Structure 1
């Protein structure tokens, strides 16, 4: 049933440029992590035991909640659903195109040059090409580096139902369910479901080839961002504020993890695998999640003041505005580099410098071309206008 909404603030005339800049920064950090150079290790997880992937997913979910949630308020829930599905389909075709590039061009070059970095990455495809191709298009087989977009597609497909439910009944049951799934993921929920499914339907794809990211763990990050973004559309929503004790705790956790990471490296407990699981990236381990929450609190609290004092980073904004094609382009650059040069981290500095200049120049070119061809949605990233949440 329709639910009335109070008048919202007037619409802004500009995009949320700071969000675009943050997304652009995440893309730069992901590229530096994936592209094999001397900067890969020192710039991997530079802010603590949190990678750019977490920031990218959280920001993407925030923007999804902000933009598509506004459609539910200003137009209707079915309109919001159609927009979500349209975006999910676009992401799917990007994933399919990237897979096609990997299975043809990269496979040919990698095999010809005998690059183990490539043949290892797509070993299952080289063993069972037809099964790999079909299962990859079904988002079951997910080669390394190409396992983020399938996660994004799945979350986008689930988001309309989740968002409609939350708009009518509140976010408490959604977040409670999400937190429970995340907790079960820490104990192997994904593998349990895979084994149970395999007992009923033979699965030709091994579990370790179904993607590195634990879907039931990372969905918590998406739901958190979706809630944060969608909540901004409620005219009665208050700004995010935190008590002093939370800010003190966030500073302590954030600084400790950052110093710790640069002191000992990206494995917090070095060779102790059990303790390292507390910071595990693929499961979104509890201490990793704690570090991410701390950094998020600090960004929300101090970010606005910093944006007023720092010069705008137009390069990062441009990358962030075209985040999907730039993300795909960075995969193409990384795969070509691995195919021709392998996973070498000992090249001379001048070669790494030329490689990085060419890489980021190409990404910027892709972003500019995309923004020129495909104009962004009219109201993306703007403040909500007066409206009502329309039911079915």
Structure 2
């Protein structure tokens, strides 16, 4: 299947924003939610789901549902391997350096691990304990494992029930469905191995709606690639007004829309994907889909973003490694830190990320070439008995 360079560039942009947000520099604040009360994480999840829906639907239509399931499983195992490697790096190298230099920021990331190292280590491998910054890949793994069922149902029976069930779960997530299920599980089993706050910041039942929506959109694009997707003018206008309002509001008041009013802030809550936050995301999505093709025709191609987006998993993992190393070396962002130091951190980090993307791209090409040579050999071997029989 031909790569969509526009989607790669969009994922590359999300990776850039996430890296700027996570790196401990004075640029992390302005880079957080720059377009309104929506972060790069929502866009990255949606784009990843869209790519998955498009690629794996094509695989199912070409090779069958079992081949699609196998491909999803292999991808999930790859992501799990990345998560395990990041956890090992955090619990060994970063933990030793963090304790040696007495970095409160680093110790705060692994508070439960420092209290209960064995329980935390086992729990992290079971995806039950997810330290901050390392809590996004676990939900990806769960989504990848569930996606074959959703995709198979959507392709064969339609998406109405899948989308309806996903929307219901999102609604229940606004009332802390995950915490309630955790409490019920503790009451039934009597086990309290990992505290609720150590599970990670993301409410998986809220975020699954973005994934399922992207999966449906990608699958639909694979099944009907030439279908026109237009929004009514009123919808585009409403999206434009909402997005501009949120953008100006964000720039005026900062990343917390209602100050100290916790109840109202829940409407824009990131971890549950609050309703007003979801509408803000939909508004940006409508504008991107409506105006995006025209902008792409007029703007020059940003190949460096495409390269980073095409290697999204290794670049994402590398950015976490760089963030952890920066926290050990420099600590949290400080106003008195020289401006030049923050600039060097950002430049050095992005140079490293781009190098990782290039290396990953070359390795993928090499692996594809090896696979193609192997396939040719197999085809030649299978054709030899037929040739001898004809003689």
Question: Same fold, TM exceeding 0.5?
Answer: yes
Conserved 8 A contact 2:57-2:223 = no
Deviation at 1:340, TM superposition (A): 1.5
Conserved 8 A contact 1:73-1:233 = no
Alignment equivalent of 1:356, drawn from 337, 346, 365: 346
Q: Output the CA distance in 1 between the equivalents of 2:262 and 2:297.
A: 43
Q: Output the CA distance in 1 between the equivalents of 2:97 and 2:115.
A: 17
Q: Which residue of 2 aligns with 1:131?
A: 119
Rate the CA distance shift 1:377–1:16 in 2: closer, same or farther, 3 A: farther
Structure with the larger helix share: 2
Q: Which residue of 2 aligns with 1:143?
A: 131
State how many pairs are aligned: 366
Deviation at 1:236, TM superposition (A): 7.8
Conserved 8 A contact 1:231-1:237 = no
Q: Output the CA distance in 2 between the equivalents of 1:194 and 1:376.
A: 45
TM-score normalised to the size of structure 2? 0.92
Deviation at 1:171, TM superposition (A): 0.5
**Could you tell which deviates more after superposition, 229-238 or 354-363?**
229-238
SS at match of 2:259: coil
Rate the CA distance shift 1:210–1:89 in 2: closer, same or farther, 3 A: same
Map Cα deviations across residues 206-237 of structure 1 (whole Å, 9 max, x no partner).
Answer: 00110100000000000000000000122487
After TM superposition, what 4+ stretches of structure 1 lie above 6 angstroms from structure 2?
A: none
Map Cα deviations across residues 344-384 of structure 1 (whole Å, 9 max, x no partner).
Answer: 23221110111111100000011111111123997xxxxxx
Q: Output the CA distance in 2 between the equivalents of 1:63 and 1:236.
A: 13
Alignment equivalent of 1:375, drawn from 365, 374, 383: 365
Q: Which residue of 2 aligns with 1:8?
A: none
Rate the CA distance shift 1:208–1:84 in 2: closer, same or farther, 3 A: same
Alignment equivalent of 2:263, drawn from 264, 274, 281: 274
Q: Output the CA distance in 2 between the equivalents of 1:375 and 1:87.
A: 17
Conserved 8 A contact 2:65-2:152 = yes
Provide the aligned C-alpha RMSD in A.
1.3
Alignment equivalent of 1:339, drawn from 324, 328, 332: 328
TM-score normalised to the size of structure 1? 0.92
Rate the CA distance shift 1:169–1:303 in 2: closer, same or farther, 3 A: same
Q: Output the CA distance in 1 between the equivalents of 2:152 and 2:123.
A: 31
Alignment equivalent of 2:277, drawn from 278, 281, 288: 288
Deviation at 1:203, TM superposition (A): 2.7
Equivalences for residues 1-392 of structure 1 within 5 A: 14-201=2-189, 202-235=191-224, 238-346=227-335, 347-375=337-365
Q: Output the CA distance in 2 between the equivalents of 1:267 and 1:94.
A: 32
- Identify which of structures 1 and 2 has the higher relative contact order when contacts are C-alpha pairs closer than 8 Å and 6+ apart: 1
Q: Output the CA distance in 1 between the equivalents of 2:118 and 2:225.
A: 53
Larger Cα Rg: Structure 1 or Structure 2?
2
**Could you tell which deviates more after superposition, 270-279 or 236-245?**
236-245
Deviation at 1:38, TM superposition (A): 1.1
Rate the CA distance shift 1:32–1:289 in 2: closer, same or farther, 3 A: same
Rate the CA distance shift 1:376–1:21 in 2: closer, same or farther, 3 A: farther
Map Cα deviations across residues 23-65 of structure 1 (whole Å, 9 max, x no partner).
Answer: 0000000001000111111121000000000000000000000
Map Cα deviations across residues 251-270 of structure 1 (whole Å, 9 max, x no partner).
Answer: 01110000100000000011
For structure 1, the residue ranges without an aligned partner over 5 or more in a row are 1-10, 379-392
For structure 2, the residue ranges without an aligned partner over 5 or more in a row are 369-391
